[in-house]
Structure formats: C-alpha cells, structure tokens
Amino acid sequence: MNLSLAHLFLALLLTKFPSFATSSHDYQDALSKAILFFEGQRSGFLPQDQRITWRANSGLSDGWMYNYDLSGGYYDAGDNVKFGFPMAFTTTLLAWSVIEFGDSMPNSELRNSMVAIRWATDYLLKSVSQLPNRIFVQVGDPNIDHSCWERPEDMDTARTVYAVDAPNPASDVAGETAAALAASSIAFRSSDPGYSDTLLRNAIKAFQFADNYRGAYSDNSNIRDGVCPFYCDFDGYQDELLWGAAWLRKATQDDTYLNYIQSNGKTLGADENINEFGWDNKHAGLNVLVSKEVIEGSTYSLQSYKASADSFMCTLIPESSSSHIDYTPGGLVYRPGGSNMQHATSIAFISLVYANYLGRTSQAINCGNIYVTPTTLRQQAKRQVDYILGDNPKGLSYMVGFSDYYPQRIHHRGSSLPSIKDYPQFIACKEGSIYFNSTNPNPNVLVGAVVGGPGEDDIYEDDRVDFKKSEPTTYINAPLVGALAYLAANPNPS
C-alpha cells in the first residue's frame, strides 16, 4: 500500500470538510449524557436511583389484555408506544457498543450502559416468554397515541398488545430479538453469567421462531395497521434472519449458525449491497460483524461478507470512485426520510468497529482509486460525531444538554409537558395540545437526547412540530454510545 497516497487522501478529506479538521469535544461528557438519555425513555416502575427525575412510573398495566406483565422496556422516541422491532435493534447496538468498546469506558459509564441494556432485555425476555407459540411485538396503538399529546404517566389511551402466534410469521422482529438477546448475553457473560445464559437460551428460541415461520410481522392482517407505516420492515425480513444467526454464531461459536450464514447467504440476500444500516436494514452491520472471522484468518468461506463490508466502506468515502453516500454541505451523512441522525450515528459506529478489526491485522481497503486505512475510517467517523456535537454550520449541538447551544423544543411528550412532579393534575389526551403548539422551550431537559437533525442543506429550525428533525429516538443514541466510548479514549484517532 502506498502510505503517502493514504496521507494525501486524508488531506483531501479535511479540505472538503475544513470545519472538521481540528475539532475535539468532551467526548466523555457526551458519552455520559448519551447513556443517561435512556433513563428518560423508560417505561414501567422506575427505580430509586432514576436520574431523570422529572419522569415517573408509567405503563404499569401493560399486557393486561393477555393477563400477562409486559411492563418495562423503552418508548422508542417522543411518543408512548413500545415498538418491539426498534427496541430490539436499540438493544443489539447498545450491547455491541459494550462488546467492542466497553473496555474503553470508565467503570461508572460501563455500569450505566449495562443497566440500560438490562432495562431492555428484561422486557424482551417477557416478549419471548411464550415461545415457541407466541411472541409479543408491540404495546400501544400508535394511531391513537399519536393523536394525543400526553405524558406517559397520564396515558389513558388503549394499551393494545400486538402479538404474533405460530404459525404466523414475525421473522424480522423475532430475528432482531434473537440478535439483541445473543449480543446482550455476550455483554453480560463476565459480570452475570447466569443472566447471560438466560439471554442466550431465549435468543435461540426467538431465532427458531423467526426461521420456522418465515415472513414479516406486518404480513399479519390483524396487526398490520398497528405497526405500519411506523415500523414496517420495508426492506424485507431476510436480513434479520442472517443478523440473528450471526449474533448467535458470535455468542455460541456453534458451527450450526456458521453453516446457516454460509448456506443461506445468497437465498436471503446477503450479497445485496445496500448502503445503509439501521433498524430496518441490517446488511452493512451484518457484513461488518461476520467479517471479523475472515479478518482474523479463520473462516475464508465468509469472504463474500468481507467483500461486501469493504464495498460499503468505500461508498462512505467522498473521494472514492464508488462513493454513493450523500453528505450535506457541512459534511453530515444524509439520507432522506427523516430522523437522519440515525444514519450518521450507525455509520460512525460500524466504521469504528470495522477500523478496529482491520487495524488488528494492519489491513486496508482497496477502493479502486484509493486505499482506505483504519485511520481514514476513524477520521470519517469522528467527523460525524463532531458534527452532532456542534461542528456544523449552525454551531448547534444536536445533543440536548451538551454545550450551551442545543435544541430547546424537541418533539417529545414527556419533555414538553409539565413534569408530573411539578404538576400532578391529570393532563388528558387533547389537553396537551397547548404545550405541543407552544413556542416556549420544553420545561424538562431530556439530557443526552439526539434529535433527528437538519435537512440536506444543514438547516435546522428548533420546531417541536417538525418531528422528522426534532424527535429523538433510542436507535439514534444506541450506536452513538459506542462511537463516543471509542472517541473518549481516543480523541485524536490514528
């Protein structure tokens, strides 16, 4: 590899996005706040050490329709619905963050990360407790919930439980749940081996359900209206099957899952080069995860996954001849559709993970006209994180509570309504509209929340109504935890 060419390429990148050339932030502070955010999203009975103190208990009767306790878990965003699909993905990414970068975290933040994971996995274990016959995929009717502006503590909307019974399909949710439980079993293996074993046993059951009854959960007419268009699996369920198998392979080292990944790769679309990674599409993350075995030199039969991972990384590099990712003028990864920061954080995270894999064996990626080194990928990831933290044309931190200039009017019910601690009177469904339409800042600061972010022109209006830009989500923050853990330990990556 021509190292002078690689150094020239880095110089060109810094010229393209000059505002990112020398930036550094208090990544440790940002990490602490990114993890703290999850406490503001909690559903269920809150513990005494709850740090987001303007929140209180909510959803305690969830599951009553089935005479089963489905309390706990996370609200995915600024509403009061517990969507199982993105919650499971959030959990997978939190666990992956700990697996890859937990050793870089201070003990206090590693503990807080594990608490955040367990808040989700305790709920996910409930969701799969009736397997092999039934999986619970959602609590709350989003159509009704979204017609209200109501604190979670005041919810009087239908807490409809959405379940899928065998032989009806739910490969996407069950596959992602298997991935979440398997990844979390690795994260808990040293600190709580008994809990780790429980997670792994249930991950295997969830994967069996996903594989035995193939199809998307939105294929079931009885729940379709409750999950679509919010969290339909628009890209198909096949990637979740491979994703779940890949995490079970990593958690068990069982060749059964290796054989599954090898033999089902083509039929389940593993060679599809789809340039994204998120709750709906696992291909890029799958390829990175599986590539570790190839890079370490032990499993050449998975070479096609590494080739796809290499190809994806090449698409991220603006100077590469195979670049396919759009950037705003200020340098932020951009994909249309809203909640864009999810793409920036997930891409930053898997870039850092892949850079670490490559760096252990001093490998680089041949992108045709350039070689991309681990340093290049780390610098690219750092620029995304720095943009989020304030190195952008507006000079705005898109993380609430970080720096002195951040969004004040986020699209979030609990944050925008008076805290039940300050205003204990019931606020009904439509009574919250005055707070939704208010131009005043939110009274409760949801520290660590990262909003959906600016448009393709780097423009962001601090507008609660514009949910595509102003709503935070758990799956924006989850991969950011890993990226910040790396940067807190390596603020000037090389």
What are 404's two structure tokens? Answer: 């002195």
**In degrees, to the nearest 5, what angle opens at C-alpha 70 toward C-alphas 68 and 72?**
150
Handedness of CA 242, 246, 252, 257 (dihedral sign): positive
Angle between helices 474-489 and 27-40 (to 10 degrees): 150
Pair 108, 490: CB distance under 8 Å: no
| Pair of tokens at residue 83 | 């969507």
Q: Which residues pair with 399 in a beta bridge?
A: 450
Stretch (H or E) spanning 139: strand 134-139
Specify the pLDDT at position 494.
84
Whole-number pLDDT of residue 11: 42
- Among the listed residues 25, 283, 343, 411, the single catalytic one is 411
Check whether the bond before 167 is cis (ω within 30° of 0): yes
Helix or strand holding residue 334 (H, E)? strand 333-334
239 is catalytic: no
Active site residue 255: no
Helix (H) or strand (E) run with residue 137 in it? strand 134-139
Q: What is the mean pLDDT of each run of 10 residues along the chain (494 residues)?
A: 42 45 80 98 98 98 96 98 98 98 97 98 98 97 94 94 97 98 98 98 98 96 86 88 97 96 80 79 95 87 92 92 90 92 98 97 92 96 98 97 97 98 96 97 98 97 97 98 98 90
**How many DSSP H helices and E strands does the chain contain?**
18, 7
Which entry of 431, 462, 463, 466 is annotated as an active-site residue?
462
Strand-pairing partners, residue 311, are none
pLDDT at 272: 67
pTM given for the model: 0.94
Q: What are all long-range contacts of 257-264, with beta carbons under 8 Å and residues at least 24 apart?
A: 258/299, 258/302, 261/290, 261/302, 261/305, 262/301, 262/302
Q: Respond yes or no: is residue 254 known to be catalytic.
A: no
Q: What is the pLDDT of residue 211?
A: 97
Q: What pLDDT was estimated at residue 320?
A: 86
User: What is the structure's pLDDT at 132?
Assistant: 97
Please tell me the predicted confidence (pLDDT) of residue 485: 98
The H or E element containing residue 344 is helix 341-359
Cα–Cα distance, 128 to 137 (Å, whole number):
9
